[in-house]
Amino acid sequence: MSRKRVVVTGIGALTPIGNNTQEYWEGLISGRNGAGPITKFDPTLFNTKFACEVKNFDPLKYVEKKELRRMDPFTHYSLATAAMAMEDSKLDLSKINLERAGVIYGSGIGGMTTWEEEHTAYMNGGAKRVSPFFVPKMIADIAAGQISIKYGLKGPNYATTSACATSSHAIADAFILIQRGSAEIIVTGGAEAAITPMAIAGFNAARALSIWNDRMMEASRPFDKDRNGFVMGEGSGTIVLEELEHALKRGAKIYGEVIGIGLTGDAYHVTAPPPGGEGAVRSMRECLRDAGVEPIVVDYINAHGTSTELNDLNETIAIKTVFGDHAKKLAISSTKSMTGHLLGAAGAVEAIATLLAIEHSIIPPTINHIEAEPELDLNYTPRVAAKREINYAISNTFGFGGHNASLLFKKFVG
């Protein structure tokens, strides 16, 4: 069976540095910093008092008022970027086979806000105080379901949950299903709204978050020698994937082509990467093998780059292992330096950054990268965006539990 080609025909982004795709891209190339004091709850007693929150977002632009209270914020975010991506794709739903159009959409945590609110209601008033909408608001698959319902998409419909790799896995699954002919169009991506007391407390307990409260604008500093933990972010990213011939037939704009995926497991530790980033090495190698290309063709890597000591070191070692001498010629950057870490939404939001970098021939910077260590000696595009022709680019995401995903995008020509 010949494999069908898969292209990106619509994108939508809601991030701490921009509430739509254009604002997000402008924020990336200008080095906008999304960090600020936490406003969603009182963080006085928490070790970390800042995060990268979505700002001035009005869900009523995307969700009917009567439905608003029946959805968790992560679903509001997903519906917002799905609307952006669908509008961007210019799909005419009356002219496509809705049974061949699906939704694969993930969240690493799901309705954390809902869980905390309903648990408080239960503790204060007993079982009768729990909302009948508790379960359908909280479950991580509900964003996929709501997008499907809104647009009448009756093809494959499910959620992925693999921590930070969640939405990259969603994109990978969508790619596979279109490639094998099971669907022609899939709306895919991920959303996260986990800046909540329990999430911050939990990541603080794990010593994963930066506690630079007096230097919050400098705290997310991937690949820098003073990196000391990630900064929590929130938001969503949605991509419309489409079978190439279907897209060409309707004259769709094509942002780029997905040509390879690499999915591996560390089988090592629940939070730490294995020495040398062994799982990341296999993920990138499998991505290249799947695409049928040599490492030397890759121009840019949007790194996982969390600003944690072990991730940044081991991802760098992994890149050197896979790319050899070519590693020094690669442009690399971590957009988490600006957006923070969007957890389950990171893969989709960073895939969008990668596609826009290809389209505009600009590498987003790694802000706050001031001084490297001897082992971290690659080109991380420090502080300022750089012009560069990009024909092939990889987006890496690696999650707690040892979940690794690498997506390879190619500039579409012809």
Active site residues: 164, 304, 341
Q: Which two tokens stand for residue 310?
A: 């072990």
User: Which residues partner with 382 through β-bridges?
Assistant: 366
Q: Dihedral of CA 132/138/143/148: which sign?
A: negative
Q: What is the 3-state secondary structure (H, E, C) of the chain?
A: CCCCCEEEEEEEEEECCECCHHHHHHHHHHCCCCCEECCCCCCCCCCCCEEECCCCCCHHHCCCHHHHCCCCHHHHHHHHHHHHHHHHHCCCHHHCCHHHEEEEEECCCCCHHHHHHHHHHHHHHCHHHCCCCHHHHHCCCHHHHHHHHHHCCCCCEECCCECECHHHHHHHHHHHHHHCCCCCEEEEEEEECCCCHHHHHHHHHCCCECCCHHHHHHCCCCCCCCCCCECEECEEEEEEEEEHHHHHHCCCCCCEEEEEEEEEECCCCCCCCCHHHHHHHHHHHHHHHHHCCCHHHCCEEECCCCCCHHHHHHHHHHHHHHHHHHHHHCEEECCHHHHCECHHHHHHHHHHHHHHHHHHCEECCECCCCCCCCCCCCCCCECCCEECCCCEEEEEEEECCCEEEEEEEECCCC
Tell me the backbone φ, ψ of residue 322, rounded to 5 degrees.
-75, -40
